[in-house]
A and B are shown apart, each in its own frame.
Chain A
């Protein structure tokens, strides 16, 4: 999978604070980048449904919007803590950490 950009947005939560970040190709170390690509491959990200939420958000859970852009395709998935499939948890954890660290350094 040749990914150019990943856009990550997290909204809601007990504190209701939004964080968002764009990860461009080359932003991460080779090791981090490969780990992220491996997860996206394992998930078959372009094949995931766009809306991975229940009927409505559960109180105070985070809502995540993840957009992956490649040369010839782009795909967005919206999901939440209680509705994200188990196999997505590692991706959420990794993107969440990158976004939190960036928010604290910007």
Chain B
């Protein structure tokens, strides 16, 4: 009599994919094996693609493991595999940028912060390039990075954005959203959302500085340098050094980022201004790093990393981040030392006093928060 595991017969593919993704090591192996057998039996290319997609989060054995997919201008994720770990470079520059950029990001987290990938457990780094046409964006979908080609579908004279893999810090930014998802789990809304964005900008910039071996003083602190075409009057999407100055353009408008709490923007749009108010904590990090000197990923980066990993929670606000980074600086480098003073100076520069307990003005809660919750535009308390 033919023997086979009951799992082959009973469990639907979607459930198997869940097990392959979230189960224990033994469960993952069994589910992966079943999916593979199922795919072979059906003899369908799509089934094998399903298998690859389902197993993307299974821990890599050796550490750094990357796969780059091509969406071929469609929207189905992850798409077709075009480069795997150890493969020779592709003829496609976006594929190589995604591969190299995710590699440098892995290296920063692994070499400097002793973190093995996004989940601290060797999670494979999956990236999809050529998402849709005319997709002027990159995002983290909760499982992988997704990159568009910018304005490639428009006449050259109308193009504002290049492909999103062009900027290394964008890649570091997206991967850091994954780290945040596994650690502080900052809600993507209002101040916690702006902190989520800021953490991605901080470590995105540090990935670039680490790659270039630049000191804090030598770095440009621009997020998305190279992303804007020559048609735009701008140097990038955001400036951590001088928030609000990255671009000023007839079509794109002016960079709306504040650098100080007095200019905090209260808005419903953009999940409560997560890409706007992130300028405030971004600038606090910049000032801290400049004050400390040397390589920003060493002391300032370490303080922010430990805060993200061990202290911030889903609902943390700017004041919490100020207090916690100050506390962590004392624990890592000594109370009252230069590091703590630098962190204090960083938050002072944006109008937040470390050790403060009052919510910073203007509050983004109160009536507006209640109204947003009522409208379903904000998470319930």
| B217 interfacial contact with A, CB 8 Å | no
Residues of B contacting A15 in the complex (Cβ-Cβ under 8 angstroms): 136-137, 224, 237, 275
Specify which of A17, A59, A63, A97 lies most central, judged by the most chain B CB atoms within 10 Å of its CB. A59
| A32 interfacial contact with B, CB 8 Å | no
B312 to chain A, nearest CB (A): 15
| B18 interfacial contact with A, CB 8 Å | no
Contact indicator B158/A104 (Cβ below 8 Å): yes
- Contacts A11-B269, A12-B275, A14-B164 given; does A60 touch B138 at CB 8 Å: yes
Residues of B contacting A11 in the complex (Cβ-Cβ under 8 angstroms): 269-270
Which of B76, B136, B158, B197 meets A86, CB within 8 Å?
B76
Stretch from A36-44, A50-58, A69-77 forming part of the interface with B? A50-58
Q: How many residues of B contact A (CB 8 A)?
A: 47
Scoring B residues 36 to 72 as 1 if CB is less than 8 Å from chain A, else 0, what string do you get? Answer: 0000000000000000000000000000000000000
Say whether chain B's binding surface is mostly helix, strand, loop, or mixed: loop
Some 11 contacts from A to B, beta carbons below 8 A apart, are: A12-B270, A14-B164, A51-B376, A56-B271, A59-B196, A61-B139, A81-B139, A81-B146, A100-B134, A104-B251, A105-B158
Contact indicator A56/B187 (Cβ below 8 Å): yes
**CB-CB nearest in chain A for B237:** A15
Scoring A residues 1 to 31 as 1 if CB is less than 8 Å from chain B, else 0, what string do you get? Answer: 0000000000111111110000000000000
Taking CB atoms and an 8 Å cut-off, the chain B residues in 264-308 that contact chain A are 269-271, 273-276
Which of A12, A62, A63, A100 meets B154, CB within 8 Å?
A100
Contact indicator A14/B138 (Cβ below 8 Å): yes
Residues of A contacting B136 in the complex (Cβ-Cβ under 8 angstroms): 13, 15, 100
Contact indicator B177/A59 (Cβ below 8 Å): yes
B288 to chain A, nearest CB (A): 24
B102 to chain A, nearest CB (A): 16
Scoring B residues 138 to 149 as 1 if CB is less than 8 Å from chain A, else 0, what string do you get? Answer: 111110001000
| A103 interfacial contact with B, CB 8 Å | yes
In the complex, A11→B224 CA distance in Å?
A: 18
Contact indicator A59/B139 (Cβ below 8 Å): yes
Residues of A contacting B173 in the complex (Cβ-Cβ under 8 angstroms): 14, 60
Residues of B contacting A18 in the complex (Cβ-Cβ under 8 angstroms): 269-270
B195 to chain A, nearest CB (A): 12
Which of B134, B224, B275 meets A96, CB within 8 Å?
B134
Residues of B contacting A106 in the complex (Cβ-Cβ under 8 angstroms): 251
- Contacts A59-B177, A93-B133 given; does A14 touch B270 at CB 8 Å: no
Residues of A contacting B274 in the complex (Cβ-Cβ under 8 angstroms): 12, 16
B136 to chain A, nearest CB (A): 7
| B252 interfacial contact with A, CB 8 Å | yes
